[in-house]
């Protein structure tokens, strides 16, 4: 094989089509999402097994108003994110920025409601290791799972604001907004599993 | 179809999916208040959560446009869940299910 042939095959290797025809940045986000799915799945499966194996598991939730409101806000913020991406893809920068900031505001409101709920539970005597209703494991599982999710929401809000501002300033494009949107939808998707497993299964009747 | 009409179609589709997800979420709350056993509640609410997640994955995260990536995500997720299921049940068996572990 000549030198030119070798060079040719090397260049072809460097220019080969990306995996699943997805651009590298977007693929990186998908790989992160897949890895994070494993993290949340591990937490939720562990929670399921521990809950099943513990006899005096508490069921402290008596009202679903707060968690229903939080769910509504998070799902709605996924829709506003899609509006922002649509606007960015059609070149309407101002509209895309506005929808992205509305999404971030939704995320911030969700985080505030979550913190308020935590404070109410702490007020009732619940900590990481004990609570007045039953096994102390409940607090550990509840704060770990919802805390991990809250951390993702907070990170998402910061990312949305940062990417939104840079998009507005012309440093980022519509694809960057779309990739941040993927993360935001993932945060929403995780919540869809946290609600039934952590809240609704522990609803006191 | 013009670009504007196509865009309107896209947004319309998102709104329909959003309403479906909200309705399924509401159904989960109805199931939680119904008079059924915890295992029935677990199965039903989890089933609804899987439908919600599938809708979000396919339409909000656009996996319906990319079958290859969809297959990769589904295979990986199922593999992780099966591994966790195996690992946890085996741990429980080891800690309490066999005579010499006691």
Residue-range domains of chain A with CATH: 23-202 (1.20.120.80)
Please give, rounded to a whole number of angstroms, the shortest distance from the CA of B56 to a CA of chain A.
7
Please give, rounded to a whole number of angstroms, the shortest distance from the CA of B61 to a CA of chain A.
6
Do the chains contact at A75 and B25, CB–CB below 8 Å?
Answer: yes
Alpha helical stretches, state H, B34-66: 38-55
Do the chains contact at A72 and B41, CB–CB below 8 Å?
Answer: no
State whether residue A60 is helix, strand or coil. coil
A82, A197, A203: best mutation site toward chain B, by most B Cβ within 10 Å? A82
Do the chains contact at A201 and B42, CB–CB below 8 Å?
Answer: yes
Phi and psi, residue A203, nearest 5°: -80, 120
Do the chains contact at A192 and B53, CB–CB below 8 Å?
Answer: yes
Q: Which of A136, A83, A74 is nearest to A110 (CA)?
A: A74
* Cβ-contact A141, A65 below 8 angstroms: no
Q: Which of A184, A164, A189 is nearest to A176 (CA)?
A: A164
Per-residue pLDDT tens over the stretch A107-126? 999 999 999 999 999 999 99
Per-residue pLDDT tens over the stretch A145-190? 999 999 999 999 999 999 999 999 999 999 999 999 999 999 999 9
- The secondary element (H helix, E strand) that includes residue A99 is helix A93-123
pLDDT for A103: 98
How large is the ipTM?
A: 0.87
Which tops the pLDDT comparison, B77 or A73? Answer: A73
- Provide the mean pLDDT of chain A: 90
d(CA A42, CA A118): 23
B62 phi-psi bin (left φ>0, alpha ψ -120 to 50, beta other):
left
* Beta-bridge partners for A104: none
pLDDT for A1: 47
d(CA B78, CA B82): 6
Q: Which of A71, A189, A205 is nearest residue B53 as measured by Cβ atoms?
A: A189
Per-residue pLDDT tens over the stretch B53-73? 999 999 999 999 888 889 988
């Amino acid at each position: 094989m000549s030198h030119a042939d070798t060079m040719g095959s090397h260049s072809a290797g460097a220019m080969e089509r990306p995996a699943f025809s997805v651009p590298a940045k977007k693929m990186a986000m998908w790989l992160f999402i897949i890895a994070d799915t494993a993290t949340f799945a591990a937490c939720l499966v562990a929670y399921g097994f521990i809950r099943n194996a513990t006899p005096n598991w508490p069921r402290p939730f008596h009202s679903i108003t707060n968690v229903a409101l939080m769910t509504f806000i998070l799902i709605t913020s996924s829709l506003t994110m899609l509006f922002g991406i649509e606007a960015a893809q059609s070149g309407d920068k101002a509209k895309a920025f506005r929808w992205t900031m509305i999404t971030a505001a939704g995320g911030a409101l969700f985080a505030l409601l979550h913190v308020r709920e935590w404070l109410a539970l702490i007020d009732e005597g619940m900590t990481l290791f004990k609570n007045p209703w039953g096994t102390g494991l409940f607090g550990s599982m509840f704060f770990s799972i919802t805390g991990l999710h809250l951390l993702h929401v907070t990170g998402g809000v910061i990312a949305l604001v940062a990417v939104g501002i840079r998009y507005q300033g012309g440093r980022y494009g519509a694809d960057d907004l779309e990739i941040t949107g993927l993360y935001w939808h993932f945060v929403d998707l995780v919540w869809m599993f946290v609600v039934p497993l952590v809240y609704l299964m522990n609803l006191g009747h | 179809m013009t670009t504007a009409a196509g865009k309107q179609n896209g947004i319309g589709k998102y709104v329909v999916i959003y309403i479906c997800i909200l309705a399924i979420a509401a159904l989960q709350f109805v199931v939680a208040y119904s008079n059924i056993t915890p295992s029935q509640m677990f199965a039903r609410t989890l089933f609804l959560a899987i439908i919600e997640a599938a809708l979000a994955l396919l339409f909000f995260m656009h996996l319906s446009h990319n079958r290859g990536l969809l297959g990769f995500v589904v295979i990986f997720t199922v593999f992780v869940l099966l591994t966790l299921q195996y690992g946890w049940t085996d741990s429980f068996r080891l800690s309490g299910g066999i005579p010499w572990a006691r």
